[in-house]
A and B are shown apart, each in its own frame.
Chain A
Amino acid sequence: MSVRVRMPGQLRTLYPGTPQWLELDAATLGELLQALNSRMPHLLGHLIDESGQIRPWVNIFVGGEDVRLGQGLATPLPPGGEVLIIPSIVGG
């Protein structure tokens, strides 16, 4: 089932040609990140660190909810839902 995911600008710099919004088939957040990784090799390492968890300064929202406060990588994705990948504000 298709969901939309918004890619942060800094990662799009590393993967030129990536649009701000992508549409991919995935049922959970974990599946979505794997699908992104297939499209952008080694992207996963920028989102998941050695702990196996989402990097501490990366925030991922599904339907406006921070997945860190919910089911993390197991978060189900509703059909047509929106996923936002947003780095923490650093500085400023």
Chain B
Amino acid sequence: MAEITLLVGTDRGAFAFHSTDRKTWTKTGPFFPGWQVDELTHVDGSLYAGVAAWSFGAAVRRSDDGGQTWEPCGEIRYAEGSEAKVTRIWRIVSHGGRLYAGVAEAGLFASDDHGATWQEVSGLRAHPTRATLWQPGAGGLMVHHIQGVPGEPQHLYVAISAAGTFETLDGGETWTARNQGVAADFMPNPEAEAGHCVHSLKLAPTEPRTLYQQNHCGMYRSDDGGASWVNISSGLPSRFGFPVVVHPGDPNTVFFIPEGGDDKRWAPDAHLAVWRSRDRGQTYTALREGLPQDAYLGVLRNAFDHDNQEELGLYFGTDNGRIFASANGGDSWTCIAQDLPRIGSVRAVVGRVTA
């Protein structure tokens, strides 16, 4: 069995967990103690961390020795004089030979030199809906998901709260809003082009025209590359939640972790469950074996991941600092860590990538 590393970002630093059998786990860290780590990922052989502090802004750090030492990457910031300020680094993703960073205030940056320098992908913020329809949600206004289409280096989707899903076919020069069919109960115009509160966005890697999103206003699937969306919330205890995971080998299988609603951000009736659909969101099964059933906790948008193994491992972190793991596709769960700070990011990586 492959060794798995979990990279875990929290409000007060980052940690890594290793296992060779997905039963026993050892912890390393903290990395960046005291810093908010919104992203800790392993890309192209290096670790990248997106760190932020209220006073000192945001930065990217890279490690080529498994986290023993960290190099400052180039600054990610808007042009001098810009009213927009980069305050958080939400996601760092490699696609088509480029490194992309999604940030708050919402924007996208790219690097062609492993993070040494960054340039804004300015086409995104040039979208005509930005001035009138983009608005911050409770977590701010940010690009929090970047999904590259496999085999198409210029083709990406980004998810922005609260602006919605956007697609580019030309590497970011031009973007099309992809929110048709998605509810936005908080806006007067139900047909608005943008302004939607997407919470997370994943494409099915083996069938990339299939996308899933957890939205503030429901769970959705697109069968046509985002051109239209259908609501797949029926059968779930709530339409509200944050993360979504798509099975890496089966575009029909998707996992959500609903919460009771935007007024109480914990599991519905405090009964924590991961809900799995194997038929593209038509029917769901609640997977709750091993999960607490008196649980006043939530799971944030980037805190749920899989390990890409044949017997799929699934992992999520909670806003009260616990990590739950499943080594059998979600059928049963084990708490592998607790008493961490609030967890915002969980990445599962094959291999041992921290020292």
Interfacial residues, chain A to chain B (CB-CB below 8 A):
9-11, 13-14, 16, 40-42, 45-47, 49-52, 55, 57-58, 87-88, 90
- Chain B contact surface mostly: loop
Question: Does B55 contact A45, Cβ atoms closer than 8 Å?
Answer: no
Instruction: Report how far A59 CA is from B79 CA in the complex, Å.
Output: 23
Nearest CB of B to A50, in Å: 5
Instruction: Report how far A53 CA is from B72 CA in the complex, Å.
Output: 22
Instruction: Report how far A49 CA is from B81 CA in the complex, Å.
Output: 9
Check A45/B33 contact, CB under 8 A, given A10-B55, A55-B57. Answer: no
Question: Does B54 contact A90, Cβ atoms closer than 8 Å?
Answer: yes
Question: Does B57 contact A45, Cβ atoms closer than 8 Å?
Answer: yes
B155 within 8 Å of A (CB atoms): no
Contacts of B77 in A (CB 8 A): 45, 49-50
Instruction: Report how far A50 CA is from B51 CA in the complex, Å.
Output: 18
Check A13/B57 contact, CB under 8 A, given A42-B74, A50-B81, A50-B82. Answer: no
**21 intermolecular pairs with C-beta atoms under 8 Å apart:** A9-B34, A10-B34, A10-B35, A10-B55, A10-B56, A14-B32, A14-B61, A41-B72, A42-B72, A42-B73, A42-B74, A45-B77, A49-B85, A50-B78, A50-B80, A50-B86, A51-B81, A55-B56, A57-B54, A58-B55, A87-B55
* Total interface residues in chain B, CB < 8 Å: 27
Interfacial residues, chain B to chain A (CB-CB below 8 A):
32-35, 51, 53-57, 59, 61, 69-70, 72-75, 77-82, 84-86
Question: Does A13 contact B33, Cβ atoms closer than 8 Å?
Answer: yes
Instruction: Report how far A46 CA is from B85 CA in the complex, Å.
Output: 12
Instruction: Report how far A50 CA is from B75 CA in the complex, Å.
Output: 11
Instruction: Report how far A49 CA is from B78 CA in the complex, Å.
Output: 9
Which residue of the partner chain, among B33, B34, B59, B84, contacts A42 with CB atoms under 8 Å? Answer: B59
Question: Does B55 contact A88, Cβ atoms closer than 8 Å?
Answer: yes
Which residue of the partner chain, among B33, B61, B72, B84, contacts A50 with CB atoms under 8 Å? Answer: B84
Instruction: Report how far A17 CA is from B180 CA in the complex, Å.
Output: 52
Check A46/B32 contact, CB under 8 A, given A52-B80, A52-B81. Answer: no
Contacts of A58 in B (CB 8 A): 55-56
Question: Does A14 contact B72, Cβ atoms closer than 8 Å?
Answer: yes
Nearest CB of B to A71, in Å: 20
Instruction: Report how far A41 CA is from B59 CA in the complex, Å.
Output: 12
Report the 4 A-B pairs with minimum CB-CB distance, sorted nearest first: A87-B55, A57-B55, A46-B56, A45-B75
Contacts of B56 in A (CB 8 A): 10-11, 46-47, 55, 58, 87
Query: Which residue on chain B has the smallest CB distance to residue A86?
Result: B55
Nearest CB of B to A90, in Å: 5
Instruction: Report how far A9 CA is from B82 CA in the complex, Å.
Output: 29
Question: Does A49 contact B34, Cβ atoms closer than 8 Å?
Answer: no
Nearest CB of B to A8, in Å: 8
Contacts of B59 in A (CB 8 A): 14, 42, 45-46
Question: Does A13 contact B34, Cβ atoms closer than 8 Å?
Answer: yes
Instruction: Report how far A87 CA is from B55 CA in the complex, Å.
Output: 6
Q: Which of A9, A10, A52 has the most CB of B within 10 A?
A: A10
Instruction: Report how far A40 CA is from B71 CA in the complex, Å.
Output: 10
Nearest CB of A to B341, in Å: 14
Question: Does A46 contact B57, Cβ atoms closer than 8 Å?
Answer: yes
Question: Does A90 contact B55, Cβ atoms closer than 8 Å?
Answer: yes
Nearest CB of B to A26, in Å: 20
